[in-house]
Structure 1
């Protein structure tokens, strides 16, 4: 419930603090006094579009703060907790404070319980706190999508609507994916065929990673095998196998001579040790050279095979515009791409079943939604018709036509096309509401629907901004009774110019404006019973208040 609204430097409001109460509150005032300004300010606070013109002239910033008691709104409390705007330990705190500031340059900031938030969160929270019905809503009533929204609001089946919406989105997402895959399949078939040919060719050749480097190394060794054998044999002869003066024999002679000398001078011992190590190294090198000789192949066939495989590798590399040593990497890349295209084809082959299942799920939920709407439509039609009779349309009839067709009307709201039908006079067939209702009749029908659907909204605060335009006399009295009845269980704020409506309110506020230091200032104050009588008399008789109008006002207020 809205408990307080504080406005500063908004439009023609300098500074204004308004306390609100339960039940129905009527807001009245002179024409042009700004009766709707407080509601416009509340709309800004709840996330409406901000414009720099809203800032009072010669002011730097406008500010609107709205306080709500959310004690009996567990969903709002849970929302605040989930968005870290209310601690679990603070559940006993009943207040939710929303603040919006707007600079003269058009920059705005938003806060919930002191925490800065994006405006989108204000709108989300505002939609859980306040329902606004404007004087131009009857124009929206001409649109079938608005009629559907009103019927769903009256049916109060948001949970089922959410399931239908989710099922529809899942179904359409699969359809879009299938369409995309079909387009890709058509566009990429030639690419897939090329990839298949290339992968098969590279599969047949089957060049392993780093194999080309091995081929190059083997080719170099095989092509120079005879020279390698000659060099290794020459080295063996020089080191060990030569009959005269090989390195090992000469080294042994040196060691023998120095061993004798080392007995005379111990300073030679380190050098003798080094020469012994060198002798060991020569013996080891000799063994390794002999082993190497055994491994060198003079094999023309092996050389030819190596040259052939290298030649094929270079041809394929040239064909694929890559280096021979990167051919294996390219092979893996092409296989991956082909696998992805193949998986896409397999996914496409399996999608018909998934789409049928998703469509059937949507159809089942949508059919349940259609049944709910049929039941709600019959109930709404009866109640609107009864209300029309009370609103001085004794022969009026109202009904809701629902046509269900999944192929033609499937959307996130189900499979139904809804039309509001009305007959305003006896003997007239029911027709779409925009074809048979006059402006005044349309206003009354719209008002009846708004009041009836608002009662199903489960929102704590409902605002009616001059929705009684176009009605008067006994009809106006009925409107007042309807709004008061609605105010028994909800907080109802009603901007009105009709004394019959204002008199039915539990409390009444008066909006006035005056000039101060050359500036226009709007103010709003709660009226006492005596002041209410004076204001009702003004609404009844204009600026001239007589004993007769005062008596009528007292009678209205007492009734």
Structure 2
């Protein structure tokens, strides 16, 4: 619950430090005194938007801090633990707004983004404003009220997750379908190219081999002539050849070596040269014996070489890269085939995800229908107590599988009849302003009892209510305060008198500036304030007696 609120230089507040107690706290004051100023300041600690206009004129910044007890608030404790924000039995939210409009937020002294302040604030405080009953006319707010009462958070999370899964798969399908025409055209082209290259069937490295073999056969005559001429010079020349000349030189060198050992190396090198010449001649003889100049094979090579170069030009690659290009096209064709299979799979996934979504949405809808009946009885009983004895309230929950949203597939309509003999109609068409206020207040009190928020604020929600109805409202809020801390800003003495404690808001001028204060009232002060609310500026013995009666 909220234990303490400190306000510095906020709007017309110079400084306030307020201690709050369990139960229902009534907050009253004269018109224009700023009864909601503490609520507005607390809103800053809960992450509400703020700008430089929040800063009291002449001050450099506004600073507001709120201290909460976390006793019996397990959700808030778990949130603090999950976010590593110094878990303890108490929690302090602080917010500063500079005169330049810059804002800073803190949780237990740790600077945090404003979004974290909002998330934690939702677990600590629930605020019901004076215009909440107007929001009740909107279908989406009616849905929120029903889900809050039924505590559908987990069911809605499941529906939201399945909805997002549906949209994700549908987006993938849409993307694949959008490119399907281009993909089909590309597949036809690639398939033709692959078939053409399959037929040619050039292997990796084959072009280089063909090119080399073609070059050899194209120069076959020159190869034969050159080999024969080389053999003639090496060994076959009748008058002289290199082998016979080397033999003579080797003999001379061997004789010289016998005279002078210093010539041994010369003799050795000449012998090695003779051996090299003889081996070279043998290699040439062997090469010539195996050399075949097959015109048919040469024609085959020339045709294949020409075809490879033609296909390379067609595919805009170099001939030596044609085989790799062929493999790349085959891989692309496989991918395109996989895309077709993937398209079929995603179409099946879309149907499956829609079925899963509708199953979850149906489960949520059934739970809503069950809790709607329960809420129908409670709200009808409440509006009977609020001086609408013949009124009847019901919630229509209509499941529509054509609707898909993060909140399910339901159409929700609050229906009401306020007079006997009249049929149930949408609340927006039937209820007057006063009736709407009473119905809205009844729903807020009932749903607040089911929501595990430790502090509830009702900011002038009793507008448009008076007399005996106001007394019923006061008793409702006091009853709620028995289990939950309730802060109620009100102008009605019948409501204020039901508070377990009472705070008075006063606005005054001091040294040419305006200030607002907020002070707790003791019993006698409460009687005076209730008498003022009952009788205005003139307080009589009758209004005082009436005020004492309200406090009893």
- Measured in 2, the distance between the counterparts of 1:420 and 1:18 equals 39
Asked whether 1:531 is paired with 2:511, we answer no
- Measured in 1, the distance between the counterparts of 2:272 and 2:107 equals 87
Query: Is the partner of 1:47 in helix, strand or coil?
Result: coil
TM-score by length of 2: 0.89
Contact residue 166 and residue 354 of structure 2 kept, 8 A:
yes
Instruction: Tell me the CA shift for residue 181 of structure 1.
Output: 3.0
Could you say which residue in structure 2 is the equivalent of 1:509? Answer: 503
Asked whether 1:550 is paired with 2:544, we answer yes
Asked whether 1:224 is paired with 2:235, we answer no
Instruction: Tell me the CA shift for residue 432 of structure 1.
Output: 0.4
- Measured in 2, the distance between the counterparts of 1:523 and 1:284 equals 119
- Measured in 2, the distance between the counterparts of 1:241 and 1:497 equals 134
Instruction: Tell me the CA shift for residue 473 of structure 1.
Output: 1.5
Could you say which residue in structure 2 is the equivalent of 1:244? Answer: 241
Q: 1:488 aligns with which of 476, 482, 507?
A: 482
Instruction: Tell me the CA shift for residue 295 of structure 1.
Output: 7.3
Query: Is the partner of 2:176 in helix, strand or coil?
Result: helix
Query: Is the partner of 2:465 in helix, strand or coil?
Result: coil
Query: Is the partner of 1:468 in helix, strand or coil?
Result: coil
- Work out the number of aligned pairs and report it: 549
- Measured in 2, the distance between the counterparts of 1:283 and 1:58 equals 114
Contact residue 254 and residue 267 of structure 2 kept, 8 A:
no
Q: 2:165 aligns with which of 170, 186, 191?
A: 170
Instruction: Tell me the CA shift for residue 173 of structure 1.
Output: 3.5
- Measured in 1, the distance between the counterparts of 2:453 and 2:172 equals 39
Could you say which residue in structure 2 is the equivalent of 1:102? Answer: 97
Contact residue 255 and residue 276 of structure 1 kept, 8 A:
no
- TM alignment of 1:221-370, pairs within 5 A: 221-228=216-223, 230-231=225-226, 244-246=241-243, 252=250, 256=254, 259=257, 263=261, 298-370=293-365
Could you say which residue in structure 1 is the equivalent of 2:5? Answer: 5
Which one is further off, 321-330 or 232-241?
232-241
- Measured in 1, the distance between the counterparts of 2:57 and 2:438 equals 38
Could you say which residue in structure 1 is the equivalent of 2:466? Answer: 472
Asked whether 1:115 is paired with 2:137, we answer no
Could you say which residue in structure 1 is the equivalent of 2:207? Answer: 212
Query: Is the partner of 2:137 in helix, strand or coil?
Result: coil
Instruction: Tell me the CA shift for residue 215 of structure 1.
Output: 3.6
Could you say which residue in structure 1 is the equivalent of 2:176? Answer: 181
Contact residue 248 and residue 282 of structure 1 kept, 8 A:
no
Contact residue 239 and residue 248 of structure 1 kept, 8 A:
no
Contact residue 423 and residue 430 of structure 1 kept, 8 A:
yes
- TM alignment of 1:132-211, pairs within 5 A: 132-211=127-206
Which one is further off, 138-147 or 507-516?
507-516
- Measured in 2, the distance between the counterparts of 1:46 and 1:426 equals 44
Contact residue 164 and residue 365 of structure 1 kept, 8 A:
yes
CA RMSD of aligned residues (A): 3.1
Could you say which residue in structure 2 is the equivalent of 1:59? Answer: 59
Instruction: Tell me the CA shift for residue 70 of structure 1.
Output: 2.1
Could you say which residue in structure 2 is the equivalent of 1:519? Answer: 513
Instruction: Tell me the CA shift for residue 431 of structure 1.
Output: 0.7
Could you say which residue in structure 1 is the equivalent of 2:455? Answer: 461
Structure 1 residues 379 and 318, CA, compared in 2 at 3 Å: closer, same or farther? same
Could you say which residue in structure 1 is the equivalent of 2:415? Answer: 421
Contact residue 240 and residue 248 of structure 1 kept, 8 A:
no
Structure 1 residues 78 and 294, CA, compared in 2 at 3 Å: closer, same or farther? farther
- Measured in 1, the distance between the counterparts of 2:249 and 2:77 equals 98
